[in-house]
Amino acid sequence: MLNIVLFGPPGAGKGTQAANLIEKYQLVHLSTGDILRGELAAKSPLGLEAKKFMDKGELVPDEVVIGMIEVKLDQNPAAKGFIFDGFPRTKAQAGALDKLLDKKNKSITIMVALEVEKQELVKRLMGRGKISGRADDQDMNVIENRITVYNRETAPVIDYYNAQKKFQSVDGMGTIEEIFGRLCKTIDKVK
């Protein structure tokens, strides 16, 4: 089984690369951002609660996203593996994910972190904001806060996987194809 944590700051290309990786390795894509936006579009109680955090560029509470991931894991018992995109975003989420996987006799194979310069992140997010209509991509203050929250709460997740010798850094600057090539090379070494 191949279980990949695809990691990086907002706008690093996680969602973009996950779409290519699931096709190549036949994995199930679990994006907490996509799941939350789905709940938001459906105006579910969970979505309406999450909106308060997402609109400000803050993280949704750990217990909410951990519960969502458990449901999705249980919905895919025959999966060959998973790509966790945008999750875990805190050390508490990383610990909870290990516990969940352990219960099912599974584990994370590798954590790949896309490294992208801040100026490029802002450019990509503002670019997407113009076409997607995503509220959190259209306001410079919200984008700045997402990057600050990433540095404060999410970047420490690297230490968590480094301690398990599962962390790999990948250059996330360049074309989508170039970055995909680098990711595959890194993943193929541990597959």
When CB distances to ligand B4P are compared, the closest residue is 33
Residue pair 172/114 in contact by the 8 Å Cβ criterion: yes
Interaction mask 40-79, ligand B4P, x per CB under 6 A: -------------xx--x-xx----x--------------
Catalytic annotation present for 14:
yes
Residue pair 25/37 in contact by the 8 Å Cβ criterion: no
DSSP 48-99: HHHHHHHTTTPPPPHHHHHHHHHHHHHH-TT-SEEEEES---SHHHHHHHHH
Residue 180 in tokens = 């995909």
Span from 22-30, 97-105, 120-128, 163-171 in contact with ligand B4P (CB under 6 A): 120-128
Q: Work out whether 87 is an interface residue with ligand B4P (CB under 6 A).
A: yes
* Rounded distance between C-alpha atoms, residue 182 and residue 21, angstroms: 12
Choose which of 13, 96, 167, 187 interacts with ligand B4P (CB under 6 A).
Answer: 13
Contact residues for ligand B4P (CB under 6 A)? 10-16, 32-33, 36, 53-54, 57, 59-60, 65, 86-87, 89, 93, 124-125, 127-128, 136, 146, 175-176, 179
Residues known to be catalytic: 14, 89, 128, 134, 146
